[in-house]
């Protein structure tokens, strides 16, 4: 199958690898359910196809929940992850440390030995107050204080993630598709839940085997990878936000405020720009697209330039993307991004289509198929 200038290879058998689902059974990978994430298996497959060797540097500039660098540590590659979301950076960091189970156990015991202290709730938003039964919120703030006093930084990060996971389970939070809802229901007491979740995570630490040191995880913008030197990366494996897809930050509003002291950041829109800007310079190939799509592709073109800059000569990249559905049309991101990558200087090796959802308007009128694809690039 050919679409314009690029060979499209159809591999619909691979569709589930581009979802987070397979990670739910894998130690450490399962520490944070990230709906937008892809699987460990996909990273293993892509690393093999792109010829990554032991000791190579693999970058994921949209690292999300850390699947790429975590898998790299298992395979003996050096992983670097960048993300603009403090929550994603934190989760990736927590999943890519090398922990001592004994040290974690001691830190957990010392947190559990503290007594709850009455907490003042003045600074908290109504959203946070509505998300928990009062008793759980009091308990949570006390445990957060206890975790903050843990001296060893890695243990502190680990326990913070365990507590965040426990807090969600002891809350009224219900994430329905891309909407955050609060549903009043009986919830389990937080302290025993925290113990159970942290203990299960410590068991995971004993199960995973790493062949390289901790990954480097940075908060940053994929359009300006200032911390990464020119031609210093062997391979890029990544999945940027999908065009016209869900708003990430709203879903995690409660965690962001409680654990990262961020109130309702409208940081990340469905396009990858951090700040809404005036319309970008014109790219002729984008003529006729909706404005939000133009902004998305403009930002992605900036990010592709950065990928080109940091890759070594001959370096390869695999970029997982999907088409955007608009009321009257489907915008085929894979071929547009491939063309933008070519403008930047990349050779497009192929586009592998892994899923294809028929999009309709008014339920019956077929407006096209939104493809999910992997774009293979070479510098
Ligand atoms: C599709 S998710 C990546 C999921 C990841 N592959 C995983 O398995 O968890 C896209 C990520 O891009 C991040 N992002 C959005 N805009 C960004 C930007 N300008 N720079 C860096 N990261 C950005 C989002 O915070 C989100 O974590």
**pLDDT of 119-163, one tens digit each?**
778 889 999 999 999 999 999 999 999 999 999 999 999 999 999
Counting beta carbons within 10 angstroms of the beta carbon of residue 43, is it exposed (0 to 12), middle (13 to 18) or buried (19 or more)?
Answer: buried
Answer positive or negative: Cα dihedral of 301, 303, 308, 309: positive
Cβ of 67 less than 6 Å from ligand 1: yes
End-to-end CA, the chain: 24
Cβ of 29 less than 6 Å from ligand 1: no
Cβ of 302 less than 6 Å from ligand 1: no
For ligand 1, the distance from its centroid to the CA atom of residue 124, given in whole angstroms, is 27
In residues, how long is the chain?
Answer: 379
Asked if the model's pLDDT at residue 363 lies above 90, the reply is no
Average pLDDT over residues 242-265: 76
Counting beta carbons within 10 angstroms of the beta carbon of residue 321, is it exposed (0 to 12), middle (13 to 18) or buried (19 or more)?
Answer: buried
Q: What is the pLDDT of residue 105?
A: 98
Counting beta carbons within 10 angstroms of the beta carbon of residue 151, is it exposed (0 to 12), middle (13 to 18) or buried (19 or more)?
Answer: exposed
Q: Say if CB 241 and CB 322 are below 8 A apart.
A: no
Only one residue has tokens 């080109």, namely: 308
Please report the atom of ligand 1 found closest to the CA of residue 222: 20
Q: What is the pLDDT of residue 270?
A: 41
DSSP bridge partners of 62: none
Asked if the model's pLDDT at residue 1 lies above 70, the reply is no
pTM of the complete model beyond 0.85: yes
Nearest CA to ligand 1 atom 26: 64
Question: What are the structural domain ranges in the chain?
Answer: 2-97+210-249+283-378, 101-207
How is residue 280 annotated by DSSP? P
Cα–Cα nearest to 216, from 100, 89, 104: 89
- What angle in degrees, to the nearest 10, is found between the helix axes of 190-207 and 101-112? 180
| DSSP state string for 209-277 | --SS-PPEEEE-BTTB-TTS-TT-EEEEEE-PPPTT---HHHHTHHHHHHHH---S-----SSS-SS--
Rounded CA separation 337/272 (Å): 14
Q: Say if CB 84 and CB 240 are below 8 A apart.
A: no
Chain mean position to CA 263: 20
What is the CATH architecture of 2-97+210-249+283-378? 3-Layer(aba) Sandwich (3.40)
Cβ of 368 less than 6 Å from ligand 1: no
Please report the atom of ligand 1 found closest to the CA of residue 242: 1
pLDDT higher at 361 or 372: 372
Asked if the model's pLDDT at residue 331 lies above 80, the reply is yes
Convert the pLDDT of each residue in 149-202 to its tens digit.
Answer: 999 999 999 999 999 999 999 999 998 777 889 999 999 999 999 999 999 999
Cα–Cα nearest to 157, from 103, 200, 203: 103
Cα–Cα nearest to 164, from 190, 125, 127: 190
How is residue 61 annotated by DSSP? T
Query: On the CB side of 23, how many CA atoms lie within 13 Å of its CA?
Result: 27
Average pLDDT over residues 291-295: 84
**Mean per-residue pLDDT over the chain, rounded:** 90
Least confident of 112-121, 225-234, 301-310, 330-339: 112-121
pLDDT higher at 369 or 277: 369
Cβ of 144 less than 6 Å from ligand 1: no
Q: What is the pLDDT of residue 70?
A: 98
Q: What is the pLDDT of residue 292?
A: 81
Token pair for 89: 């950076």
The preferred substitution site among 30, 36, 61 for testing ligand 1, maximizing ligand atoms within 8 Å of CB, is 36
């Amino acid at each position: 199958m050919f679409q314009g200038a690029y060979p499209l290879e159809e591999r619909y058998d691979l569709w589930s690898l581009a979802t987070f689902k397979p990670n739910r059974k894998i130690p450490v990978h399962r520490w944070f359910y990230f709906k937008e994430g892809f699987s460990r298996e996909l990273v293993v497959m892509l690393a093999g196809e792109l010829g990554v060797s032991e000791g190579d540097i693999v970058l994921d500039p949209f690292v999300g929940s850390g699947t790429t660098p975590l898998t790299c540590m298992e395979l003996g590659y050096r992983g670097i992850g960048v993300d603009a979301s403090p929550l994603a950076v934190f989760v990736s960091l927590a999943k890519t440390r090398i922990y001592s189970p004994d040290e974690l156990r001691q830190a957990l015991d010392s947190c559990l030995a503290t007594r709850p202290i009455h907490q003042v709730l003045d600074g908290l938003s109504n959203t946070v107050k509505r998300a928990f039964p009062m008793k759980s919120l009091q308990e949570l703030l006390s445990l957060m204080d206890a975790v903050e006093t843990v001296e060893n930084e890695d243990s502190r990060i680990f326990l913070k993630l365990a507590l965040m996971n426990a807090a969600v389970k002891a809350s009224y939070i219900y994430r329905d598709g891309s909407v955050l809802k609060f549903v009043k229901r009986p919830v389990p007491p937080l302290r025993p839940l925290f113990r159970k979740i942290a203990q299960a995570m410590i068991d995971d630490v004993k199960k995973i085997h790493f062949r390289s040191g901790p990954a480097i995880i940075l908060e940053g913008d994929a359009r300006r990878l200032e911390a990464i030197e020119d031609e210093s990366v062997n391979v890029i494996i990544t999945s940027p936000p999908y065009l016209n897809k869900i708003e990430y930050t709203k879903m995690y509003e409660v965690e962001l405020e409680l654990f990262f002291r961020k109130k309702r950041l409208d940081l990340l829109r469905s396009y990858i720009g951090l700040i809404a800007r005036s319309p970008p310079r014109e790219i002729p190939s984008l003529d006729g697209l909706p404005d939000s799509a133009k902004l998305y592709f403009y930002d992605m073109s900036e990010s592709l330039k950065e990928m080109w800059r940091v890759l070594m000569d001959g370096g390869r990249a695999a970029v997982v993307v999907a088409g955007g559905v608009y009321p009257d049309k489907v915008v085929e991101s894979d071929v547009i991004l491939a063309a933008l990558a070519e403008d930047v200087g990349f050779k497009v090796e192929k586009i592998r289509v892994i899923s294809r959802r028929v999009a309709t308007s008014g339920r019956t009128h077929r407006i096209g198929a939104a493809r999910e694809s992997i774009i293979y690039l070479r510098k």
